[in-house]
Amino acid sequence: MEKMVKFWLDSAKENFEIAQDMFKTGHYDYTAFLCQQSIEMLLKAIIILKTKATPPHLHDLIMLSSQTGLKIPLEVRDKLKEINPHYIEARYFQERFNSKVYNRDNASSLLKSTREILEWFTQKVNLRFF
């Protein structure tokens, strides 16, 4: 199980780093997608830590977060809801090219929310992330 936790945690870190790189290069749709992916990977690591079971093959941050066994404050849950749709929207819909949906301000906000979510979860389970 330790190897799987490390795999998911390393994946979460890498996705967050690449999200920041995509932001710097103006690829705001990919910034949003990788923010979602970073959180998803971290949640899967936490599920393994808490349950000793393989995480479900889901991408839904709300469902995954509920399987961590942690009491999640409303503020964190709201941020998860904000980031959750970007797994699909930033990749498969025409909106990914819409600068009203994916722009510097929105991407910056998503990066900030993602960092806050990652910090909250890693602090709750004593994982080193940043």
Residue 24 has pLDDT above 80, yes or no: yes
What confidence score (pLDDT) does residue 128 get? 86
Determine the structural domain holding residue 43 and report its residue range.
Answer: 2-124
Q: Is the pTM of this model over 0.95?
A: no
Which of 56, 57, 36, 52 lies closest to 117 in space, CA to CA?
36
Q: Are 32 and 102 in contact (CB under 8 A)?
A: yes
What is the domain-level CATH number for residue 91?
A: 1.20.120.330
What confidence score (pLDDT) does residue 101 get? 82
Q: Are 30 and 24 in contact (CB under 8 A)?
A: no
Distance of alpha carbon 41 from alpha carbon 124, whole angstroms: 16
**Residue range 89-97: mean pLDDT, rounded:** 67
Distance of alpha carbon 26 from alpha carbon 53, whole angstroms: 38
What confidence score (pLDDT) does residue 60 get? 96
129 domain-assigned: no
